[in-house]
A and B are shown apart, each in its own frame.
Chain A
Amino acid sequence: MDVPHPEPAPVGLSRRSLLRRGLVGGALLAAGGAGFLALRGGASVPLPADGLLVFSPAQFAVLDAVARRMVRPRTGWPTVDQVGVARAADRIAAMVEPSAQKELRQLLGLFENGLAGFLFGGRTRPFTRLDGEEQDRVLAEWRDSRVAVRRTGYAALRTLVLSGYYQSPSVWPAVGYPGPPGIFADAASQPEWRGGSEPRPDGNGVWHGERLP
Chain B
Amino acid sequence: MSAGRILTGRDVSVDTTVSCDVAVVGSGAGGSVLAERLTARGLRVVMLEEGGYWTRHSFDGREDHSYPRLYQEMGNRATDDQSVLILQGRSVGGGTTVNWCTSFRTPRRVLDHWRDHHGVKGLTEEALIPHWEVIEKRLHIAEWPLERMNENNRVLWDGCGKLGYSRGLIRRNVNNCANLGYCGLGCPLDAKMSMLVTLIPDAVEKGMTVHANASVRRLLIENRRVTGVEAQILDPETDRPTGIRLTVKARTVAVCGGAINSPALLLRSGLDGDGNVGKRFFIHPVVLTSALMPEPVVPWSGAPQSAYSHHFIERGTGKLGFFLEVPPTMPLIAASVFPGFGEQHQALMEQLPYTQTTIALCHDGLLPEDVGGTVKLRDPAERRVSIEYPLRPFHFEAFRAACKEMARIQFAAGAREVRSFHARPVRIQRAADVDAALDAAPWEAGRVRVATAHLMGGCAMGSDPRSSVVDSTLRYHGLDNLFVVDGSVFPTSLGVNPQETIYGVARWASQFVAAATA
Contacts and interface: CB of A to CB of B under 8 A. Distances in A.
B237 A166 contact: no
Interface in A17-50: 19, 21-23
A147 to B, nearest CB: 10
A124 interface: no
Contacts of A168: 64
Residue in A100, A174, A207 whose Cβ sees the most chain B Cβ within 10 Å: A207
B235 to A, nearest CB: 10
Contacts of A74: 343, 346
Which of B68, B178, B342, B381 has the most chain A CB atoms closer than 10 A to its own CB? Answer: B342
A213 B55 CA distance: 12
Contact of B424 (A2, A149, A189, A204): A2
Interface string A189-213: 1110000000000011111100011
B341 A175 contact: no
B256 to A, nearest CB: 22
B439 interface: no
Contact of B238 (A2, A99, A100, A208): A208
A184 B60 contact: yes
Nearest to A172: B331
Contacts of B58: 203-204, 212-213
Contacts of B238: 208
Given A162-B336, A177-B300, A71 B384 contact: no
B382 A183 contact: no
Given A1-B342, A69-B342, A208-B237, A181 B53 contact: no
A208 B237 CA distance: 6
Contacts of A207: 65, 68-69, 237
Given A180-B182, A191-B57, A19 B237 contact: no
B480 interface: no
Contact of B331 (A2, A96, A177): A177
A125 interface: no
> For the complex, would chain B's binding face be called helix, strand, loop or mixed by DSSP majority?
loop
Given A152-B81, A163-B335, A77 B352 contact: no
Nearest to B341: A70
A203 B300 CA distance: 27
B280 to A, nearest CB: 22
Contacts of B188: 183-184, 189
A22 B343 CA distance: 31
A171 interface: yes
Contact of A152 (B52, B60, B446): B446
B336 A189 contact: no
A21 B344 CA distance: 32
B82 interface: yes
Contacts of A155: 82-83, 423, 446
Interface stretch (A6-14, A56-64, A136-144): A136-144
A180 B61 contact: yes
Nearest to A162: B335
Nearest to B352: A175
Interface size class of A (residues with CB under 8 A): 35 or more
A166 B332 contact: yes
B80 A189 contact: no
Given A177-B300, A181-B180, A207-B237, A148 B350 contact: no
Nearest to B335: A166
A21 B382 CA distance: 14
B435 interface: no
Nearest to B239: A95
B63 A167 contact: yes
B385 to A, nearest CB: 11
A177 B334 CA distance: 12
Contact of A191 (B56, B83, B353, B445): B56
Contacts of A95: 68, 74, 239
A55 interface: no
Given A184-B61, A191-B57, A21 B237 contact: no
A143 B53 contact: no
B74 A183 contact: no
A159 B76 contact: yes
A148 B57 contact: no
A179 B331 CA distance: 9
Nearest to A203: B58
Given A96-B74, A97-B382, A175-B331, A205 B236 contact: yes
Contacts of A176: 350, 352-353
A151 B446 contact: yes
A203 B424 contact: no
Contacts of B74: 92, 95-96
Contacts of A99: 378-379, 381-382, 384
Contacts of A181: 61, 180, 182
Nearest to A161: B341
A152 B83 contact: yes
Interface in B445-471: 445-447
A158 interface: yes
B81 A77 contact: no
Contacts of A100: 384
B104 interface: no
Interface in B1-35: 8, 10
A203 B56 contact: no
B237 A97 contact: no
B446 A148 contact: yes
Contact of A96 (B64, B76, B378, B446): B76
A111 interface: no
Contact of A156 (B82, B180, B189, B423): B82
Nearest to B332: A166
28 contacts: A69-B342, A71-B346, A92-B74, A95-B68, A95-B239, A96-B74, A96-B76, A97-B382, A100-B384, A159-B76, A163-B336, A165-B335, A166-B332, A167-B332, A175-B349, A180-B61, A180-B182, A181-B61, A183-B178, A183-B189, A184-B182, A204-B237, A205-B236, A205-B237, A207-B68, A207-B237, A208-B237, A208-B238
Interface of A: 1-2, 19, 21-23, 69-72, 74, 77, 92, 95-97, 99-100, 136, 139, 143-144, 148-149, 151-152, 154-156, 158-159, 162-163, 165-169, 171-172, 174-177, 179-181, 183-185, 189-191, 203-208, 212-213
Given A176-B350, A206-B237, A208-B237, 13 more contacts: A1-B344, A72-B343, A95-B74, A99-B378, A158-B341, A159-B76, A175-B334, A175-B352, A191-B190, A203-B54, A207-B65, A207-B237, A212-B58
Closest 6 CB pairs between A and B?
A: A180-B61, A151-B446, A167-B64, A166-B335, A176-B353, A184-B61
